[in-house]
Amino acid sequence: MIERVRTDLDDNLRAKIITVITIDVQERDVISNFVAKKISDMQSFQWQQKLRFYLEKDKRLGVKEDRRVCIVRICDWSTFYNYEYVGNCGRLVITNLTDRCYITLTQALNLSMGAAPAGPAGTGKTETTKDLGRALGVQVQVFNCSDQMNYTVMTTIFMGLSATGAWGCFDEFNRIKIEVLSVISTMVKYVLVGIVDLKKNPAATTFKFFEEELAIRGTVGFFITMNPGYAGRTELPENLKALFRSCAMVVPDITLICENMLMAEGFGLARELSKKFWCLYSLSKSLLTDLIHYDWGLRAVKSVLRQAGGLKRAEPDADERLILMRGLKFFNKPKIVTQDWPIFCDLIDGLFNGL
């Protein structure tokens, strides 16, 4: 598949192959880890913590005996696959951090709660929530919150999410004013109580929302993401905090993400080059001047790897180390100031010695 990516493909087919590579690499890593640790028991937590898909007989009442249905399991939580069309939009690289976040989000749903991934920018809070939704075939609606949001807007959103069974991901949730957050906590509580009642009585189709009877579907979920310690952010009220299960998102595993993206761009020496790539960026972050326009994080990494992929497709038979070195130099040169350029060149020369 890596060789296929190097050929001239249309955008849709390329996105499909890259997605398959991403999932296959994760499966390869999981199985090699099981072999190394001699894990062979289905009840082992290392197996239970993975998002797993099963095709099983549908045991619900009134369903034909021969009908099969896709069940998704992770730990002690399970759900039906929802078949929401999400398009050919690719998947995230699945790392240990992604797995940990998946467990927290799904266990929150298991406990009829919301979930709150929190951490600095660029750690994948919103993207991981969206990716889990894609894996489960659930529609995920992302709302960029601001201080302009009032309780009537939020009421409409919660009513719509409950009726459709979609997930609501509220980005930068602590930008909303404190007086609106107090009302939101009541709305969330009403919906979560409706979900609990639905689990007790699966035939129910409505729940009480303030003084109204509204439609509800059991797949509905609420997720809030927050950047800690930023100016102009509101501290959440305690009654709202209690409804959400928090998950700390820390620095992503960039080496693994680099390796996966290099494979997706057609590089055969992905494992070796990913270590060199991340070594260069981590050293640049610590040794170069601390300027506001320098970015050595995940977003910058993805941009450079796309450029390197273009160079690789233009010269499929050239030395891959040379192509990556050229991409790193050409892409970073415009943003690096004069006094830092010799240091950056020395780092590249050291990592790509002899090229």
Instruction: List per-residue pLDDT tens for the chain, 355 residues long.
Output: 888 888 888 889 988 998 898 888 888 888 999 999 999 898 899 999 999 999 988 877 666 677 889 999 999 999 999 999 888 888 888 888 888 999 999 999 999 999 999 888 778 889 999 999 999 999 999 999 888 888 899 999 999 999 999 999 999 888 888 888 889 999 999 999 999 999 888 888 889 888 889 999 989 999 999 887 666 677 888 888 899 999 888 878 888 888 888 888 888 888 888 888 888 888 888 888 888 888 777 778 888 888 888 888 888 888 888 888 888 888 888 888 888 888 888 888 888 887 8
Examine the domain organization and report whether 198 and 222 are in the same domain. yes
End-to-end Cα separation, the chain, in angstroms: 28
Asked whether residue 53 is assigned to any structural domain, the reply reads no
Q: What range defines the domain where residue 332 resides?
A: 254-351
Q: Is 328 exposed, middle or buried (0-12, 13-18, 19+ CB in 10 A)?
A: buried
Number of independent structural domains in the chain:
2
Residue 58 CA: distances (Å) to CA of 54, 64, 110, 165: 11, 8, 21, 21
Of 107, 131, 15, 92, the C-alpha closest to 253 is 92
Residue 286 CA: distances (Å) to CA of 57, 221, 272, 283, 293: 56, 40, 22, 5, 15
Asked whether residue 55 is assigned to any structural domain, the reply reads no
pLDDT of residue 38: 92
Give CA–CA dist 224/117, Å, rounded.
7
Examine the domain organization and report whether 292 and 338 are in the same domain. yes
Examine the domain organization and report whether 265 and 211 are in the same domain. no
Asked whether residue 18 is assigned to any structural domain, the reply reads no
Asked whether residue 144 is assigned to any structural domain, the reply reads yes
Give CA–CA dist 262/328, Å, rounded.
13
Examine the domain organization and report whether 258 and 243 are in the same domain. no
Question: Largest Cα–Cα distance of the chain, in whole Å?
Answer: 74
Of 74, 78, 77, 79, the C-alpha closest to 45 is 74
Of 223, 232, 12, 269, the C-alpha closest to 106 is 223
- CATH code assigned at 103: 3.40.50.300
Element (H, E) at 200: helix 178-200
Examine the domain organization and report whether 95 and 228 are in the same domain. yes
Give CA–CA dist 66/69, Å, rounded.
10
- How many CB atoms within 10 Å of residue 303? 12
Q: Is 203 exposed, middle or buried (0-12, 13-18, 19+ CB in 10 A)?
A: exposed
Q: Which of 198, 230, 248 is the last residue of a domain?
A: 248
Examine the domain organization and report whether 205 and 132 are in the same domain. yes
Angle in degrees, 0-180, between the axes of helices 341-351 and 270-287, rounded to the nearest 10: 150
Asked whether residue 108 is assigned to any structural domain, the reply reads yes
Task: Copy the structure tokens of residue 40.
Answer: 């062979």
Give CA–CA dist 246/2, Å, rounded.
38
Q: Which residues of 45-66 are buried (b: 16+ CB within 10 A; e: fewer)?
A: eeeeebbeeeeeeeeeeeeeee
Q: Is 149 helix (H, G, I), strand (E, B) or coil?
A: coil
Q: Which of 183, 215, 248 is the last residue of a domain?
A: 248
Task: Copy the structure tokens of residue 112.
Answer: 């009829």
0.95 exceeded by the pTM? no
pLDDT of residue 63: 66
Asked whether residue 84 is assigned to any structural domain, the reply reads no
Q: Which of 213, 248, 283 is the last residue of a domain?
A: 248
